[in-house]
Amino acid sequence: MEVDIGKLEGKVAVISGAGRGIGRAVALKLAADGAQVVVNDLDGEPAADTVAEIGRLGGSAIACPGDVVAVQFGEQLVTSALDAFKRLDIIVNAAGYTWDHVIQKTSDEQWYAMIDVHLTAPFRILRAAAPYIRDAAKREIAEGKPVCRKVVNISSLAGLDGNVGQIAYAAAKAGINGITKTLCKEWGRYNVTVNTVAFGLIKTRLSGSLAAGNSIEVGGKQIAIGVNPTLLQRLETTIPLGRAGTPEEAAGAVYLFCIPESDYVSGQMLVCGGGVTF
């Protein structure tokens, strides 16, 4: 997948959580179609790896590692894009992880961790981008050269229909849908489309078997990741396509909202779940 002149040539994309999994696949997909990319990840090494891979393919990217839940990080991420590339056209809010428990076992710490990373962080990134988007849109419209910018927020089937053991995660992912609907109305005048992709079961390190004993470190705390193996097997059998999706397939769904063909599509949710319906 080498970079060529494509539909996103000249565009600059900021992607949170782009060091691994779906976010990394999105970064590679957009870069392959010509976008310059700001790659965020909590950890510096995977962010640098994604940047290096984009460079190997002939694209252009910079790393902006850091914790998206930090109060000032939204400003830092937007500033990095403007300092490096002088513009900002696409924002993909993909950072996140799961920390699961049924409600009676969910602590306040778990609740706020999920709300912060899946809901507050996207809000702060978008708020930080607002002054640039407003001023750029006004200037472009006055010059008779309007530019269509894109926001793609990441949700989940858990945010649409709930999921046992994910009270906090589901609440946060439901909330991002509200952000999408509202910002679509607020930023339409700036020629910005705002949409959501809600993922079903996608094969990443977060959706592997819990029996593997994998964990991630967040804020100095080790958090177990994965899905109960029995539940995982049952989930796959309920998917009409009969399997979990790949990160590359997930990235394709995000890409649909980034290209010019979707310039008149806004405030919508696309379910990328292999045919799962409600």
> Tens digits of per-residue pLDDT, 247-256?
999 999 999 9
pLDDT(213) > 70 = no
Q: Using 50, 70 and 90 to split pLDDT, how confident is the model at 3?
A: very low
d(CA 32, CA 17): 18
CA 254 to chain centre: 8
pLDDT for position 277: 79
Region of residue 275 (phi > 0: left; psi between -120 and 50: alpha; otherwise: beta): left
pLDDT, residue 163, reads 87
For residue 137, give the amino acid letter: A
Active site residue 255: no
- Rounded to the nearest angstrom, the gap between the alpha carbon of residue 151 and the centroid of all alpha carbons in its chain is 10
**Which candidate in 112, 132, 169, 190 is catalytic?**
169
Averaged confidence pLDDT in the chain = 93
Q: What is the pTM of this model?
A: 0.92
Q: Would the pLDDT of 209 be above 90?
A: no
Burial of 145 (0-12, 13-18, 19+ CB in 10 A): exposed
∠ Cα 22 121 36 (to 5°): 50
Torsion of CA 84, 150, 185, 170, to 10 degrees: -100
User: Looking at residues 8-14, what average pLDDT do you find?
Assistant: 98
- Closest by CA position to 232, among listed 206, 257, 256, 250: 206
pLDDT at 225: 66
pLDDT for residue 211 is more than 60? no
Can you tell me whether residue 156 is helix, strand or coil? strand
CATH of 12-202+245-272, one of 3.30.420.40, 3.55.40.20, 1.10.150.120, 3.40.50.720: 3.40.50.720
Is the four-CA dihedral 21, 23, 28, 32 of positive or negative sign?
positive
